[in-house]
Amino acid sequence: MALLKRFRILRSVDNTGFGNNSSSGRFFDRATGGPNVGKRGVSRLNRYSWYHTMLGMKRGKFLFLLLFVYISINLVFAGIYYSIGVEHLAGIERSYNLKEFSEVFFFSTQTFTTVGYGRISPTGFLTSAVATFEAFLGLLSFAIATGLFYGRFSRPQAFLKFSDHALVSPYREGIALMFRIAPFKNNLLSEAEVKLTLAMRVEEDGKPVNKFYNLDTEISKVNSLSLSWTVVHPVNEKSPLYGFSEQDLEATDMELMVFVKAFDEVFSNTVVSRWSYVTAEIVWGARFSIMYHPSGDQTRTILDISLIDAYTPAALPGIPGTKES
């Protein structure tokens, strides 16, 4: 009850972009880094930007989709040629149906890619017209695919990895909520800035509503993000988590939303990354392990990304509202 009164006293914020009544699932989707929001009321064609979808798609899925579309188009045109008649394709030997269709399919791929080896050629107006249209479609398709490849290759990304868990750890004379960030590729990030928002599901006048609170951090900006960065939110009198016990944490429906912005020196552009931690992903009474060490010849620092979520149990100091772990 005391905690609920404290929530009413603390000033919440309304500039998060999420309404007070949205309640299904987490606010940020870890897989995409974007808001966990589905849109309805418009057609599927108008609901999605296909350019954004293709650029944001996973690499394996993107390559599989290109291959699937390529094979599907050629199967369709092969079916058209076959229905017109293989006698209108000079160079194909009449044989059993499967071999004939395979010959037609490979002729289609040669026409689509404008390779044209010359062994098989269309005869007659209808077959030539279909081949002309397929060659035109192939030029457009490869132009689009090339643009998508360039867009994906040239799009700046943060390439940041977050720890899977946030920890409630001993910090100075009290406790703090903390998590880790580390760059996992050889991009150069500078002027990295982090903002934290805590979302809590509380009751007001008998109705569940969302409350959002900005969390102060020990350091909100670093000049260069080269090693791991442990983002620390001290749990003091200004924190909405002040006075929480482990049982209070487990009983509260909350989500810590993380927004990181940095400057990529290679692209000369700003990159953004998002992450979040729900109640089940916050560990009470633990401390992160060190994830970097000197190299064997003592000439450089080795950052072990596999240790980003490594932590050990740690006793928390006795403060009002908490208990010794």
pLDDT, one tens digit per residue, over 193-202 is 999 999 888 7
Distance, CA of 190 to CA of 270 (rounded, Å): 10
Block residue for tokens 């003091």: 236
Reported as a single tens digit per residue, the pLDDT across 28-41 is 778 777 777 777 78
- H helices of 161-279, where? 246-251
Same fold, 2-38+157-313 and 47-154: no
Report residue 9: phi and psi, to 5°.
-75, -40
CATH code of 2-38+157-313, in short, is: 2.60.40.1400
Residues 113, 145 contacting (CB under 8 angstroms): no
pLDDT at 65: 95
Reported as a single tens digit per residue, the pLDDT across 97-129 is 788 889 999 999 999 998 888 888 899 899 999
pLDDT of the chain, 325 residues: tens digit per residue = 445 545 545 666 766 767 666 666 787 778 777 777 777 788 777 877 888 888 888 899 999 999 999 999 999 999 999 999 888 888 887 776 788 889 999 999 999 998 888 888 899 899 999 999 999 999 999 999 999 999 988 888 899 999 999 999 999 889 999 999 999 998 899 999 999 999 888 777 777 778 889 999 999 999 999 899 999 999 998 899 988 888 888 888 899 999 999 999 988 999 999 999 999 999 999 999 999 899 889 899 999 999 999 999 998 886 444 444 4
Whole-number CA gyration radius for the chain = 29
Sequence ranges of the domains in the chain: 2-38+157-313, 47-154
Q: Name the helix (H) or strand (E) containing 47.
A: helix 44-47
Q: Name the helix (H) or strand (E) containing 71.
A: helix 59-84
Residues 181, 162 contacting (CB under 8 angstroms): yes
At the top level of CATH, the class of 47-154 is mainly alpha
**What's 96-117 look like in SS3?**
CHHHHHHHHHHHHHHHHCCCCC
Reported as a single tens digit per residue, the pLDDT across 152-181 is 888 888 999 999 999 999 998 899 999 999
